[in-house]
Chain A
Amino acid sequence: MIFGDTPRALSPGEVSPGLWVWGARITTTQCTSLVISLVLLGATHGLLLKTRFGKQLRASANDPELAWICGIERDRIMLWVFVLGSSLGGVAGILAALEVGMSPAMGMSALMGGVVVTVLGGRNSLVGLWIGALIVGATQNLAGWWIGSQWKDGITFALLILLLVFRPQGLFGHKPHSVSVRQ
């Protein structure tokens, strides 16, 4: 309606030859995207681990009731979580658009890739996120290369299901206590 159904491109300006790394060509745009991503990830990492806000957030996630008793306003924190998360998502969207253009539904598959990464890396682990993202990205593209790129999505989600059934805590998360009774 407003923006139209068809995919559009986002141009980064004039084309430059880019760099050669280990036999592959990486464009300047990709380099910039990589750097920006790493910086943002590092900043979020720092926010969660070092700042007071980050500690409150993790406390709230860990045991909401106890955090509330300690005076942590869960609603306010959740609000900021959504703001931050959405902002990061927005930046990711811009960076992705520079690579592959934009269409209204582009968020969905990116989101689901994100879910797989979260599950794989373990909900509570930040290191897991980094490694999970690398693994998922590599697997998706390798699988696409070997089996055919039309199966990329299917394979990602099959992996997700297997993970959820057999190892829901991912690689680095804590084993969830089973449905059984708490002490």
Chain B
Amino acid sequence: MQAGILTTEGLTVRFGGVCALDQFSFAVGEKEVVGLIGPNGAGKTTLLNTISGFLHPNEGRVSFAGQSLTSLQPHAIARLGIARMFQDMRLAGTLTILENLLLACPHQLEESMCGLFLTPRKSRAEQKANAIKALELLASLGLAKERGETVRHLSYGQQKLVSIACCLARDARVLLLDEPVAGVAPRMRDQILDLIRDLPGRGKSVLLVEHDIDAVRRTCDRVIFLDSGRKVSEGSAEAVLADRRVLDSYLS
């Protein structure tokens, strides 16, 4: 088994007759950005779903920092320190941008009845601290002015940003990002890619699913090429993108 903070071993996921993931084993190391590329239907999102607990694998294991994730509920996995971004936009639509970010903050005493009614002052203090953090994050993404906007009234690009912001606000050790720059304007795209590039410096690891090859080249330490549920190629970005098999089935 490969070493790393997030590993899968022999992961197999089947839907009826279709094998979405086939004996897939890989590892994401500490402070590393790993890119995952492959044609549509290759199993990339299935992999993210399985890691984050929304799908149960037919075979194989997922481990995070030595702990097995396979039987855990999605919310428990999120609490362990894995943050997930969704390809189809998922946000709390009737809440504001700020509220969505506050939702994402990991420390929330006020979410339990005890915290809410028995220790109101401590909970309130925590909420204030969360709010400050959230506002800083929004400012760094240029969303500070819009923080009171209801999320479902936002444009696609803005919603995407909020999505990424929520991931960042989680303070997680591993981030699973599903096409973070798809459909985003160029300047914002650069900003997001720089942000991703900074994450290992802050002690975090990233598994990045993308179709944007340039984005992958800019941000990833390692790249894995996935096709029909199988790992076809793995290595540095240059190596994988020059690989004959990748070129044949994906790039040309």
The answer to whether any beta carbons of A and B sit under 8 Å apart in the complex is yes
Quick check: is B55 within 8 A (CB to CB) of the other chain?
yes
Quick check: is B54 within 8 A (CB to CB) of the other chain?
yes
A-B pair number, CB within 8 angstroms:
13
Smallest Cβ distance from B207 to chain A, in angstroms? Answer: 16
Quick check: is B49 within 8 A (CB to CB) of the other chain?
yes
A183 touches B54 (CB 8 A): no
Over the window 153-183 of chain A, the binary record of Cβ atoms lying under 8 Å from chain B Cβ atoms (1 yes, 0 no) is 0000000000000000000000000001111
Beyond A180-B49, A181-B54, A182-B88: 10 further Cβ-contacts under 8 Å?
A: A180-B54, A180-B55, A181-B45, A181-B49, A181-B55, A181-B86, A183-B20, A183-B45, A183-B46, A183-B49
A-B residue pairs, 5 tightest by C-beta:
A180-B54, A181-B54, A181-B49, A183-B45, A180-B55
Q: How many residues of B contact A (CB 8 A)?
A: 8
In the assembled complex, 13 residue pairs joining A and B whose CB atoms fall closer than 8 Å, in A order, are A180-B49, A180-B54, A180-B55, A181-B45, A181-B49, A181-B54, A181-B55, A181-B86, A182-B88, A183-B20, A183-B45, A183-B46, A183-B49
Q: Which residue of A lies closest to B88 (CB)?
A: A182
Smallest Cβ distance from A182 to chain B, in angstroms? Answer: 7
Smallest Cβ distance from A179 to chain B, in angstroms? Answer: 9
Smallest Cβ distance from B57 to chain A, in angstroms? Answer: 13
C-alpha gap A183/B45 in the complex (Å)? 6
Residues of A within 8 A of B (CB): 180-183
Q: Which residue of A lies closest to B74 (CB)?
A: A180
- Interface residue SS majority, chain A: loop
Residues of B within 8 A of A (CB): 20, 45-46, 49, 54-55, 86, 88
Q: Which residue of B lies closest to A183 (CB)?
A: B45
B55: A residues at CB distance < 8 A? 180-181
B88: A residues at CB distance < 8 A? 182
Q: Which residue of B lies closest to A182 (CB)?
A: B88
Smallest Cβ distance from B44 to chain A, in angstroms? Answer: 10
A182: B residues at CB distance < 8 A? 88
Smallest Cβ distance from A25 to chain B, in angstroms? Answer: 50
C-alpha gap A77/B239 in the complex (Å)? 55
A181: B residues at CB distance < 8 A? 45, 49, 54-55, 86
A183: B residues at CB distance < 8 A? 20, 45-46, 49
B49: A residues at CB distance < 8 A? 180-181, 183
Q: Which residue of A lies closest to B49 (CB)?
A: A181
Smallest Cβ distance from B108 to chain A, in angstroms? Answer: 23
Smallest Cβ distance from B39 to chain A, in angstroms? Answer: 14
Q: Which residue of B lies closest to A177 (CB)?
A: B15
A180: B residues at CB distance < 8 A? 49, 54-55
C-alpha gap A182/B87 in the complex (Å)? 10
C-alpha gap A149/B66 in the complex (Å)? 60
C-alpha gap A180/B20 in the complex (Å)? 16
B45: A residues at CB distance < 8 A? 181, 183
C-alpha gap A43/B45 in the complex (Å)? 44
C-alpha gap A139/B139 in the complex (Å)? 64
Q: Which residue of A lies closest to B46 (CB)?
A: A183
C-alpha gap A87/B45 in the complex (Å)? 46
Q: Which residue of A lies closest to B45 (CB)?
A: A183
Smallest Cβ distance from B196 to chain A, in angstroms? Answer: 22
Smallest Cβ distance from B24 to chain A, in angstroms? Answer: 16
C-alpha gap A141/B100 in the complex (Å)? 53
C-alpha gap A182/B49 in the complex (Å)? 9
C-alpha gap A182/B55 in the complex (Å)? 10
C-alpha gap A182/B178 in the complex (Å)? 13
